[in-house]
Amino acid sequence: MKTSLLVALACAIALLLVAAGCTQTVQPSPTPSLVPTTVPTKTPTAVSTPVPTTPIPVPTTIAPTIPLPTSIKDTQLLFTISAPNGYAGTTIRATTSEYNILYKTTLFNPATGGANGTINNNSGNYTELADSLTIFSYSSSLSVDQNIRNIIRGSGIVFNESTVTYNGITYIRFDAERDPYSGTPGETVIFVGNKASANENGYFPVMIYTMTPNGKLSQATYENMVKSFRYYTSRNIGNALGEETDRPPFYQ
């Protein structure tokens, strides 16, 4: 009897334990934490600044206009002209293919190297000389002034043509990109006087200057020299102030 009671009691206890185990709440598994994703930092792309390909112009120095205190005259050709301080003038007889008489007067700085060869060149052709002004005096026979203009116009050199009048003398002015006679580079300006503006001895002027690379005179200075050129009569040339041009005897 006791044994049966013990067995029954044991079975009851076992059933209670099983029931308790079945009703136990299952705890949910913890949610795993998300590991933050590392976003790589972008390195900023360097933007290159374009370098301008057009060269920046270098400012050039323009020679100043200088005074013209020196007066030079040629009594035989009846003219005077102003020049920078220290300048001198030389007049020689030049050859010409025309049926006329031609003189060449060069206003120059005696300190210019190699000047004598150019000054004493009696070929009748214009030759560039730094810081100098050349005056050709043509006798006004035939149509020599028109022939000179035609030579310049037919030279093939690019130029601008205009008419100017200084001290009663009318010129046809040619602003050429280079020497129209030799083709040598360098802006060359030519003033061809009209035959109607000849002096009483029958001469008219043709004045030429070139802006050479090694020259020191400004264009404004040259222009003032040209504007100062004037003719006199045979009666009043003696009263004109100025240093007489040198005339080498073997070139007269």
| 27, 67, 91 from 88: Cα distances, Å | 123, 15, 10
Highest mean pLDDT among 15-24, 43-52, 69-78, 142-151: 69-78
Tokens of 195: 């035959």
Confidence of residue 17 (pLDDT cuts 50, 70, 90): very low
Residue type, 238: G
Segments in the chain forming alpha helices (H):
2-22, 115-119, 144-153, 219-228
By C-alpha distance, which of 70, 72, 90 is closest to 81?
72
Task: Give helix then strand counts, H and E, for the chain.
Answer: 4, 11
Could you read off the pLDDT of 121-161 as tens digits, one per residue? 999 889 999 999 999 999 987 788 999 999 999 999 999 99
Q: For residues 186 and 178, is the Cβ–Cβ distance under 8 A?
A: yes
Stretch 15-44: mean pLDDT: 49
Confidence of residue 49 (pLDDT cuts 50, 70, 90): very low
Give the other-Cβ count within 10 Å of 169's Cβ: 22
Give the other-Cβ count within 10 Å of 80's Cβ: 19
pTM: 0.75
Q: What pLDDT shows up at residue 214?
A: 86
Top pLDDT among 12 and 176 is at 176
Confidence of residue 112 (pLDDT cuts 50, 70, 90): confident
Q: Among residues of the chain, what percentage have pLDDT more than 70?
A: 75
Tokens of 197: 């503006």
Could you read off the pLDDT of 166-198 as tens digits, one per residue? 999 999 999 999 999 888 889 999 999 999 999
Confidence of residue 52 (pLDDT cuts 50, 70, 90): very low
User: At residue 229, does pLDDT exceed 90?
Assistant: yes
Q: Is 151 left (phi over 0), alpha (psi -120 to 50) or beta?
A: alpha
Alpha carbons 45 and 138: distance in angstroms, whole number: 76
Mean pLDDT, the chain, as a whole number? 83
Question: Which residue segments constitute the domains of the chain, with CATH numbers given?
Answer: 71-115+129-251 (3.40.1000)
Tokens of 129: 């000389």
Strand 203-210 and strand 230-231: the pairing is: unpaired
Give the other-Cβ count within 10 Å of 174's Cβ: 22
Give the other-Cβ count within 10 Å of 243's Cβ: 14
Q: What pLDDT shows up at residue 58?
A: 42
Q: Which residues contact 175 (CB under 8 A, 6 or more apart)?
A: 159, 160, 161, 162, 187, 189
Confidence of residue 100 (pLDDT cuts 50, 70, 90): confident
User: At residue 216, does pLDDT exceed 70?
Assistant: yes
Highest mean pLDDT among 30-44, 117-131, 153-167: 153-167
Q: What pLDDT shows up at residue 185?
A: 86
